[in-house]
Structure 1
Amino acid sequence: MTARHHGGLPDLIDRARALASTGERRILGIAGGPGSGKGTLAEKLLGELGSAAVVVPMDGFHLAEEELRRLGRRDRKGAPDTFDAAGYVVLLRRIRAGGETVYAPRFHREVEESFAGAIPVDPDVPLIITEGNYLLLDEGPWAQVQPLLDETWFLDHPDEELVSRLVERHVQHGKTAAEAEEWVRRSDMRNAARITPTRSRADLVIAES
């Protein structure tokens, strides 16, 4: 059953620390729409847990720009079918199995590409934090993600706040304000509309206070 989070960051840190202290490998998934702060929260948890955790973002599985152009999907990058979802599932299975160092890709927003083998996940790390838009999406290969996660959190924010954050992000990475606004309204928020209903599948919904 989905619970609502009414505490602050210290409560979330305690919850993540408890997952890391079970004596077995655990995977925490943080989901939410574009611009909801998934990566920021994951890094804050990592800052508190240190060597007991590793962050593995879903964004490392963006299809390459060349492939998106070949498929005719470049103008809606960020949609569910612009990721290698099946590859992400395989990585999560390897991480869950443990026993060896697994290397995950990292997405670099400044060049809009992912670099393979960028994040080492050593076998002795007890908590893996993975974050991304579609962790709770129940369709296609994405439906195989949630069963691989021990706990899932969903960051819930008003649409207009997401728009403001996303426009600022796109401007920081080279778009004009008009280009950023158009992209956010046409692409990012269309994706957000698919993501928001998945919050009912999360163990914990973290709403803006």
Structure 2
Amino acid sequence: MTPDIDTLTRMIREKQIGDRRILVAIAGAPASGKSTLSERLHHHLGGDEAGAVVVPMDGFHFDDAILGERGLLPRKGSPETFDTGGFKRILDAIHADNDDVYVPVFDRHLELSRGSARCVSQNHRIVLVEGNYLLLNQSPWDQLAGLFNLSFFVDVPVETLERRLVERWLNHGYDRDAAFGKAEENDLPNARFVIENSLTTQAITINNG
């Protein structure tokens, strides 16, 4: 049975020992609902005022200029289009808990990351890290798993993901053929990659299909 939001919130709080900061991974394929779950958990934990913050992996997208130079623009969103090293360094700093840490946030309207757009302050004791590739079993992503005190994997059937991804592109103004092409050429291969290569045995699975 999939845990409800109150159960998930309780699981997170039970991981806390005293005032120690904890990092919680919320992973899943594109369109699995992990961003929505992260925001719901943030709210149920009391938000920033209660010491919870969300750190999205999407802020570490390489800029389109870099992707263009490397011939990766059509693959934007795949594992190789992220600054994994920068992401790891930021998570290490958050884990060390020595000072405020500023993280980038991806702006979907501008289609780029805004640097230092969110602060993980000393007040934040629960850090919800959200992204597709947090639990991948291959280098360099597999260096992240040891930083998390608790991991959730949002599991959704591929057929449901396909429908959601097509709808996402339709909402961005694409016609149905173009939306289907965008989903088939990049999003769904990434989704299958996440499902097939994530360390789900180390995570609590949440069915969201």
TM-score with structure 1 length normalisation? 0.92
- Provide Cα deviations, 1:6-44, integer angstroms capped at 9, x if missing partner: 332221122223335642000000010000011100000
Where does residue 180 of structure 2 map in the other structure? 181
User: For 2:175 and 2:17, how far apart are their aligned partners in 1?
Assistant: 46
Query: Do the aligned residues in 1 keep the contact of 2:133 with 2:194 (CA within 8 Å)?
Result: yes
Q: Judging changes above 3 Å, is the alpha-carbon distance between structure 1 residues 193 and 23 closer, same or farther for their aligned structure 2 residues?
A: same
Query: Do the aligned residues in 2 keep the contact of 1:104 with 1:120 (CA within 8 Å)?
Result: yes
State the 1:124 CA deviation. 2.4
**More divergent stretch after superposition (92-101 vs 5-14):** 5-14
Q: May I ask how many residue pairs the two structures share in their alignment?
A: 205
State the 1:147 CA deviation. 0.9
User: For 2:160 and 2:60, how far apart are their aligned partners in 1?
Assistant: 26
Where does residue 200 of structure 2 map in the other structure? 200
SS in 2 for 1:155: strand
Matching residue within 17, 20, 37 for 1:41: 37
Where does residue 24 of structure 2 map in the other structure? 28
Where does residue 146 of structure 1 map in the other structure? 145
- Provide Cα deviations, 1:132-171, integer angstroms capped at 9, x if missing partner: 0100112222111111111111000111111111122222
1:28-177 to structure 2, matched below 5 A, reads: 28-49=24-45, 50=47, 51=49, 52-177=51-176
SS in 2 for 1:56: strand
Aligned-pair Cα RMSD in Å: 1.5
Query: Do the aligned residues in 2 keep the contact of 1:27 with 1:127 (CA within 8 Å)?
Result: yes
State the 1:66 CA deviation. 1.0
Give the AA of the match of 2:41: L
**More divergent stretch after superposition (31-40 vs 10-19):** 10-19
Structure 2 spans left out of the alignment, 5+ residues: none
TM-score with structure 2 length normalisation? 0.92
Structure 1 spans left out of the alignment, 5+ residues: none
**More divergent stretch after superposition (164-173 vs 39-48):** 164-173
Query: Do the aligned residues in 2 keep the contact of 1:16 with 1:45 (CA within 8 Å)?
Result: no
User: For 1:137 and 1:38, how far apart are their aligned partners in 2?
Assistant: 15
Query: Do the aligned residues in 2 keep the contact of 1:31 with 1:132 (CA within 8 Å)?
Result: yes
> Among the aligned pairs, what percent are the same residue?
37
User: For 1:111 and 1:179, how far apart are their aligned partners in 2?
Assistant: 21
Query: Do the aligned residues in 2 keep the contact of 1:20 with 1:53 (CA within 8 Å)?
Result: no
State the 1:125 CA deviation. 1.1
SS in 1 for 2:136: coil
**More divergent stretch after superposition (13-22 vs 122-131):** 13-22
User: For 1:161 and 1:105, how far apart are their aligned partners in 2?
Assistant: 30
Query: Do the aligned residues in 2 keep the contact of 1:26 with 1:126 (CA within 8 Å)?
Result: yes
